[in-house]
Structure 1
Amino acid sequence: MSAESLKDTTTTVAPTKPPAKVSVAWDGEHRFDGTRQSGSPSIRMDASGKTGPSPVDTLLCALGACTGVDVVDILAKRRTPVEAFNVDIEGERFAGVPGRVTRIHLVYQIKGAGIEKEHALRAIELAVTKYCSVRDSLDPNMPITWELQLNA
C-alpha cells in the first residue's frame, strides 16, 4: 500500500475560514477609517459621532447586518423574498469604564408578500442563535432580545 492510502482518518480537523484581516487608520481627533487589507472600500468610525458611527455603534451595526443577511437568505430559500428590510438595534451600556455593551435589543422590520409571521420569527431566531458569526463572537451570556414588525 502507498503512504497515501494509509492516511490517518481518525483525527479530522474542522475546516477553517481564512482569518479576517483589517486595518484601521487614524484620521485625526477620534476618527478612524477601517478597511480590509485587500483594499476594499472603507468605513468611517468616529468615537465623537461627528463623521460616522462610533466603534460601539459599528459593532451594533455589524450584528444587525450579520443577522440580517441570514434572515433575508432564509426567507428567500422559503420562496418568500424580502422586499424591504431594516433592523433597529439598541445596545445598553455599562455606566463605568469600559462602557461595554451589556444587553442588545433588535427590532426587525420586514416587508414582503407571502412572508408568514412564524417563518419570519424562526428566521430571526436562527440568525441570532445559530448562524450569525458576529453574535457568536460576543459574550455568550449577554442577553440579546428581538421583535418583529412584519409588513407594518
Structure 2
Amino acid sequence: MTPTEKTMTIHHAGAQRYVTRNAGGQQLIIDMTPEHPLGVGPMDAVFGALAACTMSDIVNILEKRRTPATRYRVELTGKRDGDASPPRYYHYLMRHYVSGPGITQQDVEKAAHLSHEKYCTVGASLNAEVDFEVIIEPE
C-alpha cells in the first residue's frame, strides 16, 4: 500500500457555519443553522460526494465505450438508524437516470457495478473501518 494524504482546513464562520478549503483553495460551506442556511448540511455533503463520485466513474466508463451520456441524474436515498448513537446511515439507494445514443440499461448497470466495487473512493471510504486520531492544539 502506498499511502497518500489529503489536507483540508475548516474554519468556524459563526453560528453553525463552517467553511472548508482544500489545498487548491476551493471551498464548500457546511451549514447547520436552522434558518437561512448558506450551504449544505454535513450528511448532504456526504450524499453529494457519494453520488458525484459514482456519477463521475459512470460518465468516464460510458465515454470510454464511445456512448457518452447526454442526460444524467441520480436520486439518492439513505436509511438511518434512529436508535443508534450517533444515528448512522446503514443503507443507500441510488437511482440512476441516464440517457444517450447507444446507452443500454446493461451498460449502465455494469458501469455502476464497477464504480461501487472498484473505483469510487467515497463509497469505499464509507464501507471501510477508518482510524481516527485527534490532536488538540492551542490556536
The question of a shared fold, defined as TM-score above 0.5 by the shorter chain, is answered with: yes
Count, aligned residues: 126
Percent identity at matched positions?
Answer: 29
Instruction: Return the alpha-carbon distance in structure 2 between the equivalents of residues 63 and 100 of structure 1.
Output: 15
Larger radius of gyration: 1
Partner of 1:69: 56
Structure 1: segments with no counterpart, 5+ residues? 1-13, 142-152
Is residue 103 of structure 2 the alignment partner of residue 111 of structure 1? no
CA distance in structure 2 between the partners assigned to 1:38 and 1:81 by the alignment: 29
CA shift, 1:48, in A, is 3.5
Distance 1:22-1:140 versus aligned 2 partners, 3 A rule = closer
Q: What is the TM-score with the length of structure 1 in the denominator? A: 0.76
Match of 1:48 in 2: 33
Runs of 4+ in 1 over 6 A off after TM superposition: none
CA RMSD, Structure 1 to Structure 2 (Å): 1.8
> Which residue number in structure 2 is paired with residue 32 of structure 1?
18
- Please report how far the alpha carbon of residue 62 of structure 1 lies from its aligned counterpart in structure 2 after TM superposition: 0.5
Residue 120 of structure 1 deviates from its aligned partner by 0.9
Query: For 2:14 and 2:81, how far apart are their aligned partners in 1?
Result: 27
Q: What is the TM-score normalised by the length of structure 2?
A: 0.82
- Cα distance in structure 2, aligned partners of 1:111 and 1:47: 35
| In structure 2, C-alpha distance between the alignment counterparts of 1:57 and 1:128, rounded to whole Å | 19
Gaps of 5+ in 2: 130-139
Partner Cα distance (1:99, 1:47) in 2 = 16
Output the amino acid matched with 1:35. Answer: R
Paired residue secondary structure (1:81): coil
